[in-house]
Structure 1
Amino acid sequence: MTRAERETAYVDYVTARRPHLRRVAYALCGDWHQADDLLQTALVKLYVAWPRVRRSGSEDAYVRRILVRASIDESRRPWRRERTTEVLPDRPAAEPTGVEERSELFDALQDLPAQQRAAVVLRHWLGLSVAETAAELGINEGTVKSHTSRGLAALRLTLEPSEMG
């Protein structure tokens, strides 16, 4: 088969199957513009593999597989996870902590036992999960929870103004 014959066969296939494949792409992603992008990606990949795919006679299956994989890949892209919204959440900017307060916090942290200090810092300063903190410290998750709870209680007692004054 000559190159011109292969290209003619490809164009005939795409012309005949494009509406159906576009609907399949839409069913996968739910957006016509994105479906067009997925179909374009699939047709480019089909063109590259056309001689091999044509010989096997599995053109539709090949294109469907590309559409599914391209849809999954596209959904993993960070900008696809973003959602537009009419109203932004109204959160006040965090006020910077004063030097004295930070110094007090660091002093109070230093008064905690080493494991409690590590658990509090990893969980609440660095924002690690209980499981991540447990792995980091080489202890089980229940121990992380108890160290964190005790450490926070000790910090509250140290940092909160006394009500007996």
Structure 2
Amino acid sequence: MHSRVFQISTEPIVKENYLNEDTLNQGDDAFYDYCANIDDDEREEDIACLVNETLPKGMFELVGDGIIRFNGGVEQWKEEYIANIRKKAEDLTVENMLEWSSTHYLKEAITNPLHTDYYFYLDKEGWQTYAEQSFAFMQLVCSLEPGTILYIGGVIDYHF
């Protein structure tokens, strides 16, 4: 399957530090089979999809090429996040605890609350060799003030 990794920072990212197909560990013993660069048109489409379809509705808006504004709404998101984890934990029983789906869905509720195959690369310098699931991005969002601008650097395709 294919999806995308988005490089996101609270500071502008210089083009030389954009995430690219060689940044992340891939291949044997890595989560990514391989990574590939995408063209500028695909990048724009993917960013629009991220903002309009993946991130919580109304929390962000696209304000320029690779620039998004945080509009607020994180308090409601936090409530929903905790409620979802509690629901998944309540669904876990002694009888089903060894079934893959029981623990998997609880783990996913914690680590990937946006329920997406998108990964987030939160290093504006380009030194980090891994990307993270959506909880890491939402941790960043929880520290933002409404009106904060986020910059999207590299966007790459990955296969898993």
- TM more than 0.5: no
TM-score, normalised on structure 1? Answer: 0.20
With structure 2 as the length reference, what TM-score do the two structures score?
0.21
Which structure has more helix as a fraction of its residues?
1
Larger-gyration structure (1/2)? 1
